[in-house]
Structure 1
Amino acid sequence: MLSLAPVSSASAQYAWQHNPDERSLKPGNDISYMAEWQGSFSDGQTPLWLNANKHGLSSLSSVNGYLRGKISRSIDVDSARRWAVGYGVDVVLPLHYTSHAVVQQAYVEGRWLHGTLTIGQKEQSLQLKNNRLSTGSQTLGINARPVPEVKVALPQYWTVPLTHGWLGLKGHIAYGKLTDSRWERDFTRQQSKYTDGVFYHDKAGYLKIQKPSSRFSAELGLEMGAVFGGTSYLPQRDGSMQIMENSRSFSSFFHALVPGGADVPEQGTFYTNAQGDDLGSWIVRLNYEAPSWRLGVYLDKFFEDSSGMIFMDMNDWDTGTDWQKRKSSRMMIYDFWKDQLIGAELNLKHGRWVKNIVVEYLYTKYQSGPVYHDHTMNLGDDIGGRDEYYNHYIYAGWQHWGQVMGNPLFRSPLYNKDGSINVDNNRFVAFHLGFDGEPAKKLNYRVLATYQRGFGTYSKPFLSPKTNFSILVEGSCLFSHQWKLTAAYGADWGRILGSHSGIQLTLSKSGLFNL
């Protein structure tokens, strides 16, 4: 989550900046452990909010659960040192999941001064949104299993020199590889599009603007992701299989970083897309902090290609032998105020029964418009609509192990009964409310309620709009010796996800030890 402290303190996020600890590092100390059991019981399939935004550690089966064991050492343990070391192993034995065993997390990481390096797969938090109450980010969400990757980051805002404390920067760059190739092959039964050995890339940068000691702050961010390389398998109408070997060269990694390259299968045709499936979000958040409350309003503007990123496309091409040349600088401008997640978060600092409130509105129907036409030798008009959010004609889209890697209101492929890896409802309007509280010292709760009106996709629209209403009511109680019991009730009503209800029980034990 974001820091709402004045930027003037951004140059002192770590204790080493005040009084560095010069003693030798002890990576065997301050290790945390957690053992956890969870069981879910539903009529039909698991309701949305008992399944979504759990880093992919969930199942749609009517009866499912797991045993989980985790040990980790937080990099924050060494905040008083210039050097820091962290690591973690998180293993799950599931029942009725997409895998018989899950390595949920396995990573090592280090920090030198402000910069960090992480190697492995690690659950990451949402940026600029509430992790417990929001529907999630549209690009870098918490809905799917973590991807094994190498990640370089500035995890906390670093004060830009010579700005008198007004500007702070943070961000990251990561490369990894998806691990769901076997699942894709089994889920599709090789009867619809699937991929194998696909690489993954994501990056993000955030700028914070705040006058030192001011209660107001503004945060601007850009999050981007891509899947590229690997092999694509595309079944044909005659029963044959078209196999596409996508580029794995160094240039493909560069083009994923700086969109503008082309996939090898597209060579030989004029039209080439950014390397692989490339997408992202512009994010803006405005904050005000009062003595007893804190308010943030935010916008998450999603895009599926480079024209969506800059809200315009070249639109005036010549014809005939000069069809590759532009006649003028005429551009097609997309509607900025469509296809956004708009939200507000209120934190009541002294609240007990109600502590945090989040409201969100999502609109994804536009997708740069309903018309897609690339210019030709005979017609110079170029219209880049029908963006098909989270879907791609070569790749399996923005998903991992059947769960979308962004916002779970885009219906994940795991719901599809026909074995296709597609997001079949990416055009929708939704309203969401979330709130939580802590009525007693060791007792807390949260409530989520979401209404959605879906229209399918441009290529496969619903015959008539479908609606869905989903709720979650969850309570947690902390007992002595760090035992914790969580009970949750979830339900869906409607035709997007169906009508189901269920309960979920989670019992965990956590603590610390030294080697």
Structure 2
Amino acid sequence: MQKQTKKIVTLLLLLCIDPLSGLFAQSISLESNTLAGTKDQLPFWLWANQLGQFDKNSSIIQNFSLNAFHAQQIGASDFSYKVGLDLDLLLADENDIRFTQLFGATSWKFLQLQIGAFPEDEVYAGLSTTNGNLATSRNARPHPRIRAGFNRFVPVLVDWFSINGFFEEGLLNDNRYVKDTHLHYGVLNLRFGKPETLQVTAGVEHLVMWWGTHPEYGELQGWEAYFSYLTAQAGSENALEFDQNNAMGNSYGTYQLTINKNWDKLNATVYISHPYEDHSGMDLVNAVDNLYGIHLSFDKENAFLQNILLEYFHTKDQSGPYHFGQNPDKDAPSRGNDDYFNHGVYRSGVTYHQMAMSSPLFAPIIIEDGISLGFENNRFTGFHIGAMGFITESFRWKGLFTYSNNYGHHDGLGGSTYDPSQKQVSALAQVSWQPPTKKLSISASVATDRGSVYDNGVSTTRLGSMVSFKYHFSK
């Protein structure tokens, strides 16, 4: 039955190529990925940051993917549009066929409107553990949303100061604890400096889970409480008691800071992502919790080392181990135990289709009756190294290495739910080949994990591999 399904869907994908090639003349490709892992799971770097395509709990996966993209200016006007899709067939423990991406966008000058399921743009050559942002990554499948905002940084009054941002509303329509949860996402970035000098970009990103249907309380407040959700106000007398005592909905986000400098042959970026769950995080009570990174990109054709990235991450503090009246020190702030990306009402937390929408290092996800119930571990420290470059003109290499020391949660008594802490090491090595015609590319990856985070505290070594073929049909 599985072989028949594979043949039928493969035929359908091939039949789609001809009509799509007219619409998506710029880019259309067919991709095959074969993955395997030992001990009933894939190693971390075979499933993390793959737009939710691969389930880590499958030991063998066959994936076929049809990708298409087209962008075009409309005549001599200031209007343009772009459309894209990613249709995936997965043959694993549970077969699935789905649109991982399906979106359209239109722009006028510096303004843009996007509709559909689309991912965040990839930064830092795809080498970061979380695309440079602790709260929003490319780990989970894109969810349906509408985004309105700027398509680039726009100068304001002077050429050395510009702004960028957007306002977005989305729907988390997966199988989750609060069904049909809405997700608001707002971003504002301020940039100082010119490209030929030093540029400093500071921004704030705010996300709120709101509305939806709770299994116990029924339908939660919707548009009538929208302003309270967005401004993180306490709920009215019509709201849940939890929301009356706290902010409405599940608010979280990050402060983002990047410093960029260009030289003739080198581009350097230093970045910091600071998470917050409530006012204590926004007030920097948890100032030690950050993702720190540096990315170096070398402008030299076919260089052996083209990109290198270093990251250090720390989420262990979380504004202290006690929350509200639990603190035995009367003089200390009664805030703390932020419990990043988990929530008491929206219990599925910052997940979508049982994968982290935040950094994939927030893991493992607790699953009960097929529903995600947040993260078992969100307090960790560690570092990450990623690099890539050319071996020859046709052969490229890529390497990733990640170490983390994991503490679970604050236990409310000044300790940690992981005691002793659980250490985890994950690594990947990849070689890819693309001939001068650029039509075909082939890559082979090997990955390994060593640690106890994904095995209930038992230290386990896991191996895995992936072989990928990609053919470009575009002209």
Contact 2:366-2:376 within 8 A present in 1 as well: no
CA gap 1:49/1:81 in 2 versus in 1, 3 angstroms: farther
Residue 361 of structure 2 corresponds to 409
Residue 433 of structure 2 corresponds to 477
Residue 283 of structure 1 corresponds to 256
C-alpha offsets along residues 399-434 of structure 1, whole Å, 9 cap, x if unaligned? 101111111111141788997522111011011001
User: For 1:478 and 1:295, how far apart are their aligned partners in 2?
Assistant: 27
CA gap 1:245/1:272 in 2 versus in 1, 3 angstroms: farther
* TM-aligned CA deviation for residue 463 of structure 1: 2.4
User: For 2:95 and 2:127, how far apart are their aligned partners in 1?
Assistant: 28
User: For 1:304 and 1:454, how far apart are their aligned partners in 2?
Assistant: 19
Contact 1:247-1:263 within 8 A present in 2 as well: no
* TM-aligned CA deviation for residue 293 of structure 1: 1.3
Q: Secondary structure at the match of 1:74?
A: strand
Residue 466 of structure 1 corresponds to 422
Residue 440 of structure 1 corresponds to 392
Task: Report the residue type matching 2:431 in the other structure.
Answer: G
* TM-aligned CA deviation for residue 381 of structure 1: 7.8
- Is 1:345 paired with 2:295? yes
Q: Secondary structure at the match of 2:377?
A: coil
- Is 1:299 paired with 2:299? no
User: For 2:138 and 2:335, how far apart are their aligned partners in 1?
Assistant: 30
Residues 86-485 of structure 1 aligned to structure 2 (within 5 Å):
86-96=82-92, 100-126=96-122, 129-136=123-130, 137-160=133-156, 162-163=157-158, 165-181=159-175, 184=176, 194-210=177-193, 212=194, 214-233=196-215, 242-252=216-226, 254-262=227-235, 266-268=239-241, 271-311=244-284, 334-336=285-287, 338-350=288-300, 352-373=303-324, 383-395=334-346, 396-413=348-365, 421-459=373-411, 461-479=417-435, 480=437, 482-485=439-442
Contact 1:375-1:381 within 8 A present in 2 as well: no
Contact 1:135-1:407 within 8 A present in 2 as well: yes
Residue 450 of structure 2 corresponds to 493
Residue 54 of structure 1 corresponds to 50
Contact 2:201-2:259 within 8 A present in 1 as well: yes
User: For 2:107 and 2:137, how far apart are their aligned partners in 1?
Assistant: 24
User: For 1:290 and 1:309, how far apart are their aligned partners in 2?
Assistant: 35
CA gap 1:269/1:280 in 2 versus in 1, 3 angstroms: closer
User: For 2:65 and 2:181, how far apart are their aligned partners in 1?
Assistant: 28
Contact 1:139-1:224 within 8 A present in 2 as well: no
Q: Secondary structure at the match of 1:66?
A: strand
User: For 1:381 and 1:428, how far apart are their aligned partners in 2?
Assistant: 24
* TM-aligned CA deviation for residue 31 of structure 1: 4.1
Q: Secondary structure at the match of 1:489?
A: strand
- Is 1:66 paired with 2:63? yes
CA gap 1:271/1:251 in 2 versus in 1, 3 angstroms: closer
User: For 1:412 and 1:131, how far apart are their aligned partners in 2?
Assistant: 26
User: For 1:250 and 1:83, how far apart are their aligned partners in 2?
Assistant: 35
Report the TM-score, using the length of structure 2 for normalisation: 0.85
* TM-aligned CA deviation for residue 505 of structure 1: 1.1
What RMSD over aligned residues (CA atoms) do the two structures have, in Å? 2.7
User: For 1:120 and 1:484, how far apart are their aligned partners in 2?
Assistant: 29
Residue 13 of structure 1 corresponds to none
User: For 1:400 and 1:284, how far apart are their aligned partners in 2?
Assistant: 26
User: For 1:83 and 1:360, how far apart are their aligned partners in 2?
Assistant: 39
Task: Report the residue type matching 2:71 in the other structure.
Answer: S
Task: Report the residue type matching 1:455 in the other structure.
Answer: Y
Farther-moved stretch of structure 1 (454-463 vs 411-420): 411-420
CA gap 1:250/1:269 in 2 versus in 1, 3 angstroms: closer
Farther-moved stretch of structure 1 (88-97 vs 45-54): 88-97
C-alpha offsets along residues 429-470 of structure 1, whole Å, 9 cap, x if unaligned? 011001110222232221100010001111471121110100
User: For 1:207 and 1:439, how far apart are their aligned partners in 2?
Assistant: 39
CA gap 1:294/1:131 in 2 versus in 1, 3 angstroms: closer
Task: Report the residue type matching 1:286 in the other structure.
Answer: I
User: For 1:301 and 1:148, how far apart are their aligned partners in 2?
Assistant: 26
Contact 1:403-1:412 within 8 A present in 2 as well: no
Q: Secondary structure at the match of 1:440?
A: coil
Farther-moved stretch of structure 1 (261-270 vs 63-72): 261-270
C-alpha offsets along residues 202-222 of structure 1, whole Å, 9 cap, x if unaligned? 121211110x46421111111
User: For 1:264 and 1:52, how far apart are their aligned partners in 2?
Assistant: 42
CA gap 1:217/1:51 in 2 versus in 1, 3 angstroms: same
- Is 1:502 paired with 2:464? yes
Q: Secondary structure at the match of 2:317?
A: coil
User: For 1:293 and 1:54, how far apart are their aligned partners in 2?
Assistant: 28
* TM-aligned CA deviation for residue 73 of structure 1: 1.1
- From 18, 31, 39, the equivalent of 1:36 is 31
* TM-aligned CA deviation for residue 89 of structure 1: 2.5
* TM-aligned CA deviation for residue 353 of structure 1: 0.8
User: For 2:219 and 2:52, how far apart are their aligned partners in 1?
Assistant: 28
Contact 1:266-1:272 within 8 A present in 2 as well: no
Q: Which runs of 5+ in 1 are unaligned?
A: 1-26, 185-193, 234-241, 312-333
User: For 1:443 and 1:92, how far apart are their aligned partners in 2?
Assistant: 27
User: For 2:237 and 2:472, how far apart are their aligned partners in 1?
Assistant: 49
CA gap 1:172/1:264 in 2 versus in 1, 3 angstroms: farther
Task: Report the residue type matching 1:304 in the other structure.
Answer: E
* TM-aligned CA deviation for residue 269 of structure 1: 6.4
User: For 1:269 and 1:123, how far apart are their aligned partners in 2?
Assistant: 32
The sequence identity of aligned pairs, in percent, is: 24
Contact 1:247-1:264 within 8 A present in 2 as well: no
Task: Report the residue type matching 2:266 in the other structure.
Answer: W
Task: Report the residue type matching 1:227 in the other structure.
Answer: M
